[in-house]
């Protein structure tokens, strides 16, 4: 009997020790879990801190780069403004003296015809180069003013035909000198645009079409309406544009290799696109070399 009592006590003690061991084990597990949790939280905080630091540096870098670009842009625009101001009078004088010399050469009598012809050619070249320089300066001034916001477009609903009439009057003489057939389709469509600036933009595109179309060629301008835009097409059968140049022709001072023998400074199409985009529109081009080009201007409908 006494032996059985000892056995029961030993069994109870064993059970108690087991429970204490289990309890200690469970407590150890909880401590381990808490340590793991704390470690995980610390890990997450470090990662978030690293991401925040990288993002802060990225934002600061972007802000610094934008500020540098803004300052460089201001320097360039100031330089262009100074150059245009300082060259305005000299260029005007050059044009005046070139015209006077042309008149003197034309009115001379009693001189060798060969000499007169050579002098006349030199004077025409001088006047042409002076006009080219004047055009470049004026284009740079216009570009600078547009980019600084000094010149703004004022859009309103207007007739496409009024735009066509302005461009036709300006470029029909130039087209006639090359015996190019310049035609405008009659249009009753209306779009939202600034008549003055859109005349400049469309005029630059038409000027390019006339310039790069061979003598006796054709340039045709038409318009059609879509749901949200009026599309103005300027089509020619000129020298065309290589596919790799489609996007480059809208950058400043870029000129295709095939256009090197033609006068120009490579700024007309850039200005045209900037003006159209400022009015909520866009420009597209399609072309095949030696077959012609199609420039499409899209303007919002009223």
Residues 285-294 pLDDT 10s: 999 888 899 9
Indicate if the pLDDT at residue 8 is higher than 50: no
Highest mean pLDDT among 40-54, 110-124, 232-246: 232-246
- Count Cα neighbours of 218 within 13 Å in the Cβ-side half-sphere: 8
Per-residue pLDDT band for 247 (boundaries 50, 70, 90) equals: confident
Q: Which of 31-45, 170-184, 213-227 shows the lowest per-residue confidence on average (mean pLDDT)?
A: 31-45
Q: Which of 9-23, 152-166, 197-211 shows the lowest per-residue confidence on average (mean pLDDT)?
A: 9-23
- The pTM (predicted TM-score) of the whole model is 0.65
Q: What is the pLDDT of residue 280?
A: 93
Q: What is the pLDDT of residue 3?
A: 52
Indicate if the pLDDT at residue 186 is higher than 90: yes
Lay out the sheet containing 181-184: strands in order across: 181-184, 218-225, 229-236, 292-300, 282-288
H-assigned helices in the chain:
2-107, 113-147, 160-177, 195-211, 268-278
Q: Which of 42-46, 121-125, 258-262 shows the lowest per-residue confidence on average (mean pLDDT)?
A: 258-262
Q: What is the pLDDT of residue 292?
A: 92
Could you tell me if residue 223 is left (phi over 0), alpha (psi between -120 and 50 degrees) or otherwise beta? beta
Return d(Cα 29, Cα 48) in angstroms, integer: 28
**Consecutive H or E run containing 191:** strand 190-193
Return d(Cα 265, Cα 207) in angstroms, integer: 13
End-to-end Cα, the chain, rounded Å: 112
């Amino acid at each position: 009997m006494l032996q059985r009592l000892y056995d029961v006590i030993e069994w109870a003690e064993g059970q108690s020790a087991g429970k204490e061991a289990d309890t200690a084990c469970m407590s150890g597990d909880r401590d381990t879990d808490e340590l793991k949790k704390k470690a995980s939280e610390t890990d997450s905080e470090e990662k978030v801190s690293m991401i925040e630091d990288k993002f802060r540096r990225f934002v600061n870098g972007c802000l610094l780069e934008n500020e540098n670009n803004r300052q460089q842009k201001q320097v360039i625009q100031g330089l262009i403004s100074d150059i245009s101001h300082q060259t305005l009078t000299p260029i005007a004088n050059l044009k005046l003296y070139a015209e006077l010399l042309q008149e003197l050469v034309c009115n001379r009598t009693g001189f060798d015809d060969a000499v007169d012809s050579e002098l006349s050619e030199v004077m025409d070249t001088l006047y042409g180069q002076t006009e080219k320089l004047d055009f470049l300066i004026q284009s740079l001034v216009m570009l600078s003013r547009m980019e600084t916001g000094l010149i703004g477009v004022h859009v309103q609903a207007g007739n496409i035909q009024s735009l066509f009439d302005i461009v036709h009057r300006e470029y029909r003489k130039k087209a006639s000198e090359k015996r190019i057939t310049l035609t405008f389709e009659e249009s009753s469509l209306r779009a939202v645009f600034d008549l003055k600036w859109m005349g400049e933009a469309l005029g630059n595109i038409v000027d390019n079409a006339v310039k790069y179309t061979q003598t006796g060629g054709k340039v045709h301008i038409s318009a059609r309406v879509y749901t949200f835009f009026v599309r103005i097409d300027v089509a020619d059968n000129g020298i065309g544009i290589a596919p790799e140049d489609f996007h480059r022709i809208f950058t400043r001072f870029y000129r295709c290799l095939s256009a090197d023998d033609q006068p120009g400074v490579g700024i007309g199409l850039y200005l045209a696109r900037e003006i159209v985009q400022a009015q909520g529109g866009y420009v597209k081009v399609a072309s095949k070399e030696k077959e012609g080009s199609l420039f499409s201007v899209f303007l919002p409908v009223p």
